[in-house]
Amino acid sequence: TVELAYNITSVADTATGPQESGFTPATPITVNLPANIVSGNLLLVVINFSSTDAAETLDWPAGWSPLFSYQHATFFRLVGRFRRADGTEGATITLNSDATGRKGTAVAYRITGHHPTLDPEAGAAVSGNNASPNPPALNPAEWGTLGTLWIATGGLARPSTTAFFTANPAEYALSEFGNDAFVRMVGRNLKAASEDPGPF
């Protein structure tokens, strides 16, 4: 699980056009992007996929900056990247891998009302083997108590008979995705210098 934070100047339109893409074993991986992308939007993609090799490469198109990457010891990788849109983005991006048989889910956000220069920040990923993963606390370094969109995300190794992600952390209800497909993302708008979500 990971927590992400974005400084925003308005909470009226913070995450529009979310797009989820599930993919079956294939190389390369195609990720669907939200509609109506225009120059200046902040784009976020979080992808969770089966992976047993920390040395495996996952090549992103130019312009996507690393936000976080967590490799489970034996099962999966949870990765986030962001991009400041320039208006040339298409409907999808292609991620090339040097491995085959990848399966998982990607979630893409188009964020508006964000700070024009400050980048998003992410907390250190935490791992565990239980049905109630608990995202880490985060104290963004750049913007103090300005308005912030906080996002908590978690990934699974594979579909399971165990009930994961059966409830959101308290106060987190903005845009949830992928409950049964490897990844879940939830968010809230809050003016606070730090945030520590409760468990899923």
pLDDT at 72: 72
Token pair, residue 44, equals 């976020």
Q: Residue 123: its pLDDT value, please?
A: 87
Q: Residue range 113-119: average pLDDT?
A: 85
Rounded Cα gap, residues 46 and 138, in angstroms: 18
- Mean pLDDT over 166-193 rounds to 75
DSSP summary character for residue 41: P
Q: What is the pTM of this model?
A: 0.85
Q: Which of 117, 92, 158 is nearest to 7 (CA)?
A: 117
Calpha distance 114→196 (Å, rounded): 21
CA–CA distance, 197 with 200 (Å, rounded to integer): 9
In sequence order, the β-bridge partners of residue 83 are 43
| Residues 128-167: tens digit of each pLDDT | 777 778 888 999 888 888 788 888 888 776 655 556 677 8
Give residue-wise pLDDT tens across range 15-38.
Answer: 444 566 666 666 678 888 888 888
40's tokens: 């200046």
For the cut 70, the answer to whether the pLDDT of residue 7 exceeds it is no
The pLDDT value given to residue 78: 84
Nearest to 183 by CA among 150, 157, 149, 151: 157
pLDDT tens column, 63-114: 999 998 887 766 778 889 999 999 999 999 988 876 666 677 788 888 888 8
* Res 17: pLDDT: 43
Q: What is the mean pLDDT of the chain?
A: 77
Residue 61 has pLDDT above 50, yes or no: yes
How far apart are alpha carbons 129 and 80 in whole angstroms?
21
Of 133 and 179, the one with more pLDDT:
133
| pLDDT number for residue 11 | 38
